Structure 1
Amino acid sequence: MNEEKKNYTFFEVIARIIPIQFQSAPFNCILENLLAVIHGLSFSLTVVATQHLFDTIAKAAVNEAGFQDCLVSLLLLSGVTFGQQILNGVHNFHGTGILFPKSMGKLTVLLHRKLKSIDPAQFENTDFLDDLNKAREGIRAIPLFCMILYLCISFYGVYFLSIGVYLFTLKPMLLITLLLAFIPAILAQTIQVRVFTRLEEQSAPLRRENEYYQKTICDREYFKETRILGAFSFFNQLFTGTMELLTCKIWKAEMKTALLKLMLNITTFAGMGASAYLLFTATMNGEITIGMFAAVFAALGQIFAIMDEIVGKHVSSMNKDIGKVNNFLHLLDMHERTGLDGIPDFTKGVAAHGISYTYPGREKPAVKNLSLNLAEGETIAIVGENGAGKSTLVRLLTGIYRPLKGRVTIGGLDTGEIAPSSLYKGISGVFQKFQRYKMTLEENVAISGSPTKAGSHQAESALREAGFEKGKIRMDDMLSPEFGGIDLSGGQWQRIAIARGLYRVNGFIVLDEPTSAIDPIEETRIYKQFQRLAEGKCAVVVTHRLGSAKLADRIVVLDSGEIVDMGTHDELLSRPGKYADMWVAQAQWYEREEEKLVR
């Protein structure tokens, strides 16, 4: 189940993410680089304009230039400086305000499309869930990584190239001094790459735990239970513990990088001192003019500040993010579940032939060597104790999981060979862990069908079939207090989930214990209604309440992932076995409920 990860080099990462970033916003990527080039040139023009102003003032001091010449030089410098500030604002706004959020949105869509194609069984794999957590961090890291790359190449690259040519024409040794100060800092940053890549690998499992504990403390889904049962302190302690571990790991990594930055500052200071000395001696020897000295001396501070910004901030940020970017690429490279196209023919029924399935990280099979045939128009009930493999079998019969051994055919299509999108056509289901979507009542039902067919009439019909009593609830009412809407009871939500399953056009429908919040007598009524709606279709009912199972054409009894008995309700009760034992244990439920109805 686990896939071997490729270790990407820095240049491999760049080669992968630049096309991804460009495809997410091609126009904005071009504009971002164009603004960066112009912005970089404006810094070099400032140095030239400064030199021109000081040279003009020096000439004016010896009556070789007039006031008008000085004024023109001053206006030129002012114009370049003003334009540079305008460019700086436009450049920053475009990068952080337009390109960054646009890229994040497109990368999120790309990740979701990838997840749609990954085998659903991976979501039972803790290693994959850690990788997914890391990949989500990469959604933010990639746009930042690319924007810094654009900045280093198009802005800083253009600036240093132009200013380097200028310095080389003045005194070649100046350029060499700058390079000698810059190279050790870059070498120090290569060590930082390993530090933060290792940090990201170690942090992802802890971060996932920490996020879960935070949900148990704060989320609406958990807070009532954690407060009433006094579990807040327990989860808060777990949250604090994982946060402390995370902080400790981050602190150690930051400590190492702080020492590297200290080395960088020492190197930068030495390089700046050497450059200033060379500049001073060149001026005293008459090799450069006073204007050149003033312009370059003023620029030296800016040059080293930019070098420090590149190495200490941008390259450091890239080093921190490269592990997250790698994780995003690893997920994109994961094997996708693909297959041939096809249209299921449910007249051929649904069949399992000697199937076995074991969840990732477990040794005991959830389903083993199981064979079962479901004919068109037949309803079977799958019963068994908790952990018997009922839900796993349903996932295999519907094609959500592919068996590790054996084969499953849905409407004549082999789930191991056919694309999931083809398999799911004509299949509907209602599951125990149904979703409560924060949408309107109509949308909560119609989401299971084609948007072109969504409408109040069809949704209301499905709600009536599911036994949902609307009362004063309107179809356009928002079912979420967080968004200014209303809340419903657990039983009402279950009926909406059933209506959602009935709304979808299907030839094969599954009810996987969707009525846990409904009393046994009401559950029987729903299943009787479901039995009428399932006429002529392949249907599977999974339930732990045997009073509903007896409505099926056949009952399959599971135990430890194997079929231990099969037959009608009467046949199974007529002989000793698992089903008869379960029926005796549960019969008192229905006797009490029937007494209540008689009264």
Structure 2
Amino acid sequence: MSAEKKKYNLVTVILRIIPIQFKSAPWNCLIENTLGIMNGLSFTLAVVATQRLFDVISKAAAGKAGFLDCVIPLLLLAAVTFGQQIINGVQNFHGIGILLPKSSGRLTALIHKKLRRIDPVYFEDTDFLDDLNKAREGIRAITMFCMIVFVCVSFYGVYFLSIGVYLFRLKPMLIITLLLAFIPALSAQAVNVRVFTRLEEQSAPLRREYEYYQKAICDREYFKETRILGAFSFFYHLFEDTMKLLTEKVWKAERKTALLQLLLDFTAFVGMALSAYMLFRATMSGEITVGMFAAVFAALGQIFAIMQEIVTQHIGNMNRDMGKVVNFIRLLDMPERTGTEGETDFARGVAAKDISFTYPGRDKPAIKNVSLEIAEGETIAIVGENGAGKSTLVRLLTGIYRPSEGKVFIGGLDTAVASPASVYKGVSGVFQKYQRYKMTLKENVAISDVSAEAGAEKIHSVLSEADFEMGDIKLDDMLSPEFGGIDLSGGQWQRIAIARGLYRVNGFIVLDEPTSAIDPIEETKIYKQFEQLAKGKCAVVVTHRLGSAKLAHRIVVMDGGEIVDIGTHEELMSHPGKYATMWEKQAQWYERAEDCVPAQLPV
């Protein structure tokens, strides 16, 4: 998305987003434009009604018309003015109160569906995360952008077309004067487009930073550590510095556009003065009536005010939002991860053949020339030091990432050509960074099968297999203090994460260091249970505790993104190597820990 960005001009953007807007809320868009047309016509009708009223009053003053002749034009002007206010109020309420929230919600759903189809590897790319932040900013902006387009076409377009015909019939030169006042203003806004598009490009990374610092200051996930360690001031200063830098960029852009606004105001003043002079000359020469002069003179102020409103407010807002809307479109235009449908057959196992993988924006591969086969009914353990490539290999073996080189086959399906849904079907896992969903216990466990009614018996079964003690907790209890529920310990949450992985129907299951908050004795107990549950399936265990790895049929030792050894515990210990060295180090840790346990005091 960020490597080679396509350019979008205003016309291209409008042509892209209008169909999207209509699709998100078709009837509301139709209502909004209908109200705009009625509103535009009402403004012109008000000018015509004003002219007729003043003409009749002039005749009445000259004794050529009576009181009753003035009543009808007066009532007509009152009716048009009243109707104008009603239509304007309804349009404002409908646009801001109904169309905007309804469309924003559906556009949010659209962007989420798009993210579901994007290759997950993009989420490792910093540039993509910046672009995603900008695209999310565009969710509300795109609706406001479309509403401005609707207003400019249905309301202002109809108004200027009808009032233009009226003015042209009075004096053609008035139209030219209005255009001369309007064109320089549009030119100034063309400069604003570049200013605010550049501002949005520069602001997104800073916005992501200050949002993170703000979260570190006050989010529930962070506040205990930041308070106890006295880190509040550290994060606050980072937040403050980032906000100052962002504000400075905004100020420079605003200052530049303010100078252009002065030029716009001066141009509008000259145009209006010239129009008023021409109108006065036409009246004095008898080309137009006094009523026409009064109506058009009153309308001139309104016309120039509307022109300034279009250029400075609406077109100005479009310029400000242009960058956000463009990033929304860029996200929609991103290539999607697709593939052919197929069925996994885990009797064929899981295989990686000469695979390599490099994360976006990095030169060094995280996985290099790895080949591995997992047979049905086999459990392998993957061990290695931090940064060895264990988790990356798991993401490749489960099809989350596609290898840069080589092939991965899951149940006979090639992850490079098979659809994600086909690849993921029958695959389950519990990962080190598991999620604590702010939902009920039942939903936390059965989240992989929300389409079917989650059976309480099966949920209780997998919770028991994960060694989760229910106690007084019920399946319908909310696991979130923020939503009036309860909170759990880290160990309890990990057991729920394990139960969640076990609940999903699978032929291939992965445990990627999910037991870091559980003591070694409990961890061994869970892995022994997992050994029973994994029978007849392809299974992978990633662990930093080598004692648990002994439960696997084979142990894969990784270092620097490569498999440096593979075999059973006994085979790996029978010769010098990475595994034997790691085993000796961990054995020393346990021995030292035992030395530190104080002897029992005599009674």
Per the normalisation by structure 2, the TM-score is: 0.97
Q: Do structure 1's residue 300 and structure 2's residue 294 form an aligned pair?
A: no
CA contact (8 A) 1:59 1:65 kept: yes
Q: Distance in 1 between matches of 2:130 and 2:574?
A: 50
Aligned residue identity for 2:497? A
Q: Distance in 2 between matches of 1:463 and 1:244?
A: 50
Q: Distance in 1 between matches of 2:311 and 2:456?
A: 60
Q: Distance in 2 between matches of 1:593 and 1:334?
A: 56
Aligned residue identity for 1:369? N
Aligned residue identity for 1:278? M
Task: Give the secondary-structure state (helix, strand or coil) at the position aligned to 1:451.
Answer: coil
Post-superposition shift, 1:363? Answer: 1.8
Post-superposition shift, 1:328? Answer: 1.1
Partner of 1:357: 357
Aligned residue identity for 1:431? F
Post-superposition shift, 1:133? Answer: 1.0
Aligned residue identity for 1:478? M
Task: Give the secondary-structure state (helix, strand or coil) at the position aligned to 1:467.
Answer: coil
Q: Do structure 1's residue 248 and structure 2's residue 222 form an aligned pair?
A: no
Within 5 Å, give how 1:490-505 maps onto structure 2: 490-505=490-505
The Cα offsets for residues 219-260 of structure 1, whole Å up to 9 and x where unpaired, read as 111111111111111111111111111111111111110011
Q: Do structure 1's residue 195 and structure 2's residue 191 form an aligned pair?
A: no
Partner of 1:212: 212
Q: Distance in 2 between matches of 1:66 and 1:218?
A: 75
Aligned residue identity for 2:243? M
The Cα offsets for residues 452-510 of structure 1, whole Å up to 9 and x where unpaired, read as 14232222221111111111111111111111111100000000000000000000000
Q: Distance in 1 between matches of 2:457 and 2:23?
A: 42
The Cα offsets for residues 118-143 of structure 1, whole Å up to 9 and x where unpaired, read as 11111111111111111111111111
Post-superposition shift, 1:72? Answer: 1.8
Partner of 2:127: 127
Aligned residue identity for 1:164? G
The Cα offsets for residues 404-433 of structure 1, whole Å up to 9 and x where unpaired, read as 111110001111110111000000000000
Aligned residue identity for 1:100? L
Q: Do structure 1's residue 235 and structure 2's residue 270 form an aligned pair?
A: no
Within 5 Å, give how 1:82-481 maps onto structure 2: 82-481=82-481
Q: Distance in 2 between matches of 1:198 and 1:306?
A: 28
Post-superposition shift, 1:144? Answer: 0.8
The Cα offsets for residues 262-291 of structure 1, whole Å up to 9 and x where unpaired, read as 000000001111111111111111111111
Within 5 Å, give how 1:531-546 maps onto structure 2: 531-546=531-546
Task: Give the secondary-structure state (helix, strand or coil) at the position aligned to 1:365.
Answer: coil
CA contact (8 A) 1:347 1:376 kept: yes
Q: Distance in 1 between matches of 2:590 and 2:208?
A: 44
Aligned residue identity for 2:6? K
Task: Give the secondary-structure state (helix, strand or coil) at the position aligned to 1:452.
Answer: coil
Post-superposition shift, 1:589? Answer: 5.5
Q: Distance in 1 between matches of 2:511 and 2:572?
A: 22
Aligned residue identity for 2:282? A
Q: Distance in 2 between matches of 1:2 and 1:196?
A: 19
Q: 1:462 to 1:548 in 2, by over 3 A?
A: same
CA contact (8 A) 2:381 2:543 kept: yes
Q: Distance in 2 between matches of 1:554 and 1:374?
A: 10
Aligned residue identity for 2:173? M
CA contact (8 A) 1:520 1:589 kept: no
List alignment gaps of at least 5 residues for structure 2: none
Task: Give the secondary-structure state (helix, strand or coil) at the position aligned to 1:448.
Answer: helix
Give the share of equivalent positions with the same residue, in percent: 74
The Cα offsets for residues 72-122 of structure 1, whole Å up to 9 and x where unpaired, read as 221111111111110011101111111111111111111111111111111
Q: Distance in 2 between matches of 1:453 and 1:266?
A: 68
CA contact (8 A) 2:376 2:537 kept: yes
Q: Distance in 2 between matches of 1:454 and 1:168?
A: 72
Aligned residue identity for 1:102? K
257-266 vs 214-223, greater mean Cα deviation: 214-223
Q: Distance in 2 between matches of 1:283 and 1:534?
A: 95
267-276 vs 579-588, greater mean Cα deviation: 579-588
Aligned residue identity for 2:387? G
Task: Give the secondary-structure state (helix, strand or coil) at the position aligned to 1:356.
Answer: strand
Post-superposition shift, 1:55? Answer: 1.1
CA contact (8 A) 1:442 1:455 kept: no
Q: Distance in 2 between matches of 1:534 and 1:105?
A: 42
The Cα offsets for residues 276-331 of structure 1, whole Å up to 9 and x where unpaired, read as 11111111111111111111111111111100100010001111111111111111
CA contact (8 A) 1:3 1:334 kept: no
Post-superposition shift, 1:588? Answer: 4.9
Aligned residue identity for 2:563? I
Partner of 2:74: 74
Q: Distance in 1 between matches of 2:61 and 2:490?
A: 89
Q: 1:593 to 1:466 in 2, by over 3 A?
A: farther
Aligned residue identity for 2:493? W
511-520 vs 167-176, greater mean Cα deviation: 167-176
Q: 1:545 to 1:175 in 2, by over 3 A?
A: same
Partner of 2:487: 487
Q: Distance in 1 between matches of 2:516 and 2:135?
A: 36
Q: 1:590 to 1:456 in 2, by over 3 A?
A: farther
Task: Give the secondary-structure state (helix, strand or coil) at the position aligned to 2:400.
Answer: coil
Aligned residue identity for 1:249? K
Q: Distance in 1 between matches of 2:431 and 2:594?
A: 25
The Cα offsets for residues 51-78 of structure 1, whole Å up to 9 and x where unpaired, read as 1111111111122222122222211111
After TM superposition, what 4+ stretches of structure 1 lie above 6 angstroms from structure 2? Answer: 593-596
Post-superposition shift, 1:572? Answer: 1.4
505-514 vs 94-103, greater mean Cα deviation: 94-103
Q: Do structure 1's residue 569 and structure 2's residue 558 form an aligned pair?
A: no
CA contact (8 A) 2:389 2:561 kept: yes
576-585 vs 553-562, greater mean Cα deviation: 576-585
CA contact (8 A) 1:213 1:235 kept: yes
Post-superposition shift, 1:574? Answer: 2.1
Partner of 1:11: 11
CA contact (8 A) 2:2 2:131 kept: no
CA contact (8 A) 2:397 2:410 kept: yes
Q: Do structure 1's residue 37 and structure 2's residue 70 form an aligned pair?
A: no
Task: Give the secondary-structure state (helix, strand or coil) at the position aligned to 2:448.
Answer: coil
Q: Distance in 1 between matches of 2:428 and 2:210?
A: 35
Post-superposition shift, 1:10? Answer: 1.3
Post-superposition shift, 1:3? Answer: 4.0
Q: 1:348 to 1:593 in 2, by over 3 A?
A: farther
Q: Distance in 1 between matches of 2:595 and 2:72?
A: 102
CA contact (8 A) 1:555 1:568 kept: yes
Q: Distance in 1 between matches of 2:34 and 2:421?
A: 43
The Cα offsets for residues 153-182 of structure 1, whole Å up to 9 and x where unpaired, read as 110010011111111111111111111111
List alignment gaps of at least 5 residues for structure 1: none
Q: Distance in 1 between matches of 2:439 and 2:517?
A: 22
CA contact (8 A) 1:521 1:593 kept: no
Per the normalisation by structure 1, the TM-score is: 0.98
Give the number of equivalent residue pairs.
598
